[in-house]
């Protein structure tokens, strides 16, 4: 999916209790599913469905708390969530601080545009979690494009 094929968005989403709102304006950088064990824990499922946006395309209203953990890549991974209902609003990796990783489900009821194009961390994907078999799968991160 080329950048031009990604939708131009102008949306506002909120956490479960409504105390935190995330506005996004612009095109997603990527839309994918992740089956790492941390995503399994935080989603309560076998994977998470996420959208990667430039940090400059998002704005948050309301107070968030954050939790920082070491990622398998050696980076620090920070999850920003509502302190009232604990809904994840976005996450960031120290590997790519210019981007926000937003759960596609945060836009519930207005996320028909979401089209994942890959599964990352397929090495920890569990068989009971049904994911489109046509999606490219990568054991960890997708390999960098070779020039």
- Angstrom CA distances, 129 to 2, 36, 60, 97, 101, stand at 28, 13, 31, 30, 21
For the whole model, what pTM was predicted?
0.89
Mean pLDDT of the chain: 91
Q: Model confidence over 2-55: pLDDT tens digits?
A: 555 789 999 999 999 999 999 999 999 999 999 988 888 988 999 999 999 999
The residue that leads in pLDDT, 26 or 141, is 26
What is the dotted CATH code of the domain comprising 3-137? Answer: 3.90.1590.10
Quote the CA–CA distance of 11 and 25 in Å, as a whole number: 7
Residue 72 pLDDT: 74
Q: What are the residues facing 138 on neighbouring strands? A: 120
In this prediction, residues 93-107 reach a mean pLDDT of 95
Residue 3 pLDDT: 54
Q: Model confidence over 121-131: pLDDT tens digits?
A: 999 999 999 99
Residue 147 pLDDT: 43
Residue 146 pLDDT: 44
């Amino acid at each position: 999916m080329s950048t031009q094929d990604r939708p131009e968005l102008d949306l506002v989403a909120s956490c479960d209790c409504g105390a935190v709102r995330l506005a996004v304006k612009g095109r997603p950088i990527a839309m994918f599913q992740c089956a790492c064990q941390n995503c399994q824990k935080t989603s309560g499922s076998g994977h998470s469905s996420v959208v990667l946006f430039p940090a400059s395309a998002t704005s948050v209203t309301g107070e968030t708390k954050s939790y920082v953990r070491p990622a398998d890549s050696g980076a620090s991974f920070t999850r920003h969530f509502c302190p009232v209902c604990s809904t994840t609003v976005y996450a960031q990796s120290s590997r790519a601080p210019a981007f926000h990783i937003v759960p596609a489900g945060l836009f519930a009821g207005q996320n028909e545009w979401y089209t994942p194009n890959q599964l990352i961390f397929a090495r920890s994907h569990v068989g009971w979690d049904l994911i489109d078999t046509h999606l490219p799968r990568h054991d960890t991160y997708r390999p960098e494009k070779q020039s």
